[in-house]
Structure 1
């Protein structure tokens, strides 16, 4: 059975892991400027306070895991208030040893492992926008174990390191996203996949991308009326069904254009277009330039693509 979440993560191609041990003692606080890249943290020992911009502050305890898909500005501190140290992660030099906050001597009160990574896909922002701003998970020890493995591998210089890191990040992301609570989550991909009827439609779009899907077709797959399905999909996922389908088709197309020597008419066929010309028109409207120019620019590696 097609798994939309796994497909999305594979096509995003996470890479470039940075991860370090972080400890704190006494009173301490750090305020980070917005970063824009996915960040994560696993609490190994103790507790601290996390206040992410736009979210309710939470107390992180031993065994907790946090994923910030876009890492907005946030403050992390001891439970007792302290004057925060301001850090801009975009300009700060990455430390080559464990990070220590607060009192520098003696045993730490808090121990955690955190870091960040990036996505290789040029339009990662489209799907990151369909994820919660902050994912806070409790009671999943496997996530902390994966973060430890990431840290150990990131510190090594052995052959195959980059491939192992890429696979570990993919596993970490899937574990975190499938363990994320969805009952009160904002509209997005996770909330859509948690809804049994909407999930059927999402799996249909991903599993048979060549099919000329219509809203009535998707509603029938979900066992709903057209209007009820349209409203529910929009409410759960945050975008209209055909808008989601178009975005996914164009994401697959860009991936094919970047990574494979596939003729334009074959790309068109694989994502459900009847001809190369109709695909090119849709691609240019969605991306802002024709497929040929997209290829010449190297798939717009590292650049933002208009959605």
Structure 2
């Protein structure tokens, strides 16, 4: 069976847009405006305070990984109060080198690696729908290994670093998603994958997207009654089973159309539509434009 999580990451085609070493010493505070793109922070040494707008402050320490799928405005600071220095996240995104907060001389109290993701896919909303506003992962040995490798690739800039970073970013995203596939995740695929019975049905849908699925068939796979399956799936995934099947078919179709290898009729067949016209109507309703127009758009 296909692994839904791997499929999602493949559809997004993530890569690191940039990653900078960020350090701080003494009493300092930095205020970033809303960025809008997914960003991450990996604490390498020491600790500091992160306050994302709309959320309670959290202490982040060495080994912690923070992922902000939409990167709202936030403040990062030492624990002692200090007047915040304002930064434009778009300007920081074009900066290369170490960013130093607070005292400029001496060994830092905190070192981190901060950066943002770009996605070759235009559907970054797919990531937003899967994750909470703030993902905070602690005490993950595997993540620590990935963090160390990202740090080395970012700072050493050896031949092939860009490729290595793009692969490492994929692994970081998968690990972040795995860590939130629990009750803390918002309704969506990750929440469903955290449910043993629903995960069977989700994996079946992803493995055979072209199959003419019915609620009864999926309920049997999940070993639940039709009504219990419908209620549980809708509550955990945030969509009815058939709405999810349709949405996933459309995500696959968008990826195939973007590749521009198959014809519209071949894409329709690949995602379970026997009629090109039926597929075109469903795609236009779901995406807001026809398959042919979507395939031609940049």
Q: 1:160 to 1:202 in 2, by over 3 A?
A: same
Distance 1:181 1:46 in 2: 28
Secondary structure of residue in 1 paired with 2:149: helix
> Given the superposition, is the C-alpha separation of residues 133 and 103 from structure 1 closer, same or farther in structure 2, using an over 3 Å criterion?
same
Paired position in structure 2 for 1:305: none
1:83-102 paired onto structure 2 within 5 Å: 83-92=83-92, 94-102=94-102
1:71 CA displacement:
1.3
Find out whether 1:52 has 2:52 as its counterpart. yes
Decide whether aligned partners of structure 1 residues 249 and 113 sit closer, same or farther in structure 2, where only a CA change above 3 A counts.
Answer: same
TM-score, reference length from structure 2: 0.93
- 2:196 aligns to what? 196
Aligned residues: 298
Distance 1:183 1:290 in 2: 37
Aligned to 1:268: 268
Q: Is the 8 A contact 1:29 1:82 kept in 2?
A: yes
Query: Does 2:134 align with 1:134?
Result: yes
Q: Distance in 1 between matches of 2:183 and 2:283?
A: 35
CA distance in 1 between counterparts of 2:212 and 2:109 reads: 58
- The Cα RMSD (Å) is 1.9
Displacement of 1:234 in angstroms is 1.9
The runs of 5 or more residues in structure 1 that have no matched partner are 299-307
- Give, in angstroms, the shift of residue 21 of structure 1: 1.0
* Range with greater deviation from structure 2 (175-184 or 108-117): 175-184
Q: Structure 2: which 5+ residue stretches go unaligned?
A: none
* 1:136/1:180 contact within 8 Å kept: no
Aligned counterparts of 1:218 and 1:56: Cα–Cα separation in 2: 40
TM-score computed with the length of structure 1 as normaliser: 0.90
Q: Distance in 2 between matches of 1:32 and 1:291?
A: 39
> Given the superposition, is the C-alpha separation of residues 72 and 169 from structure 1 closer, same or farther in structure 2, using an over 3 Å criterion?
same
In 2, Cα distance between the equivalents of 1:200 and 1:151? 37
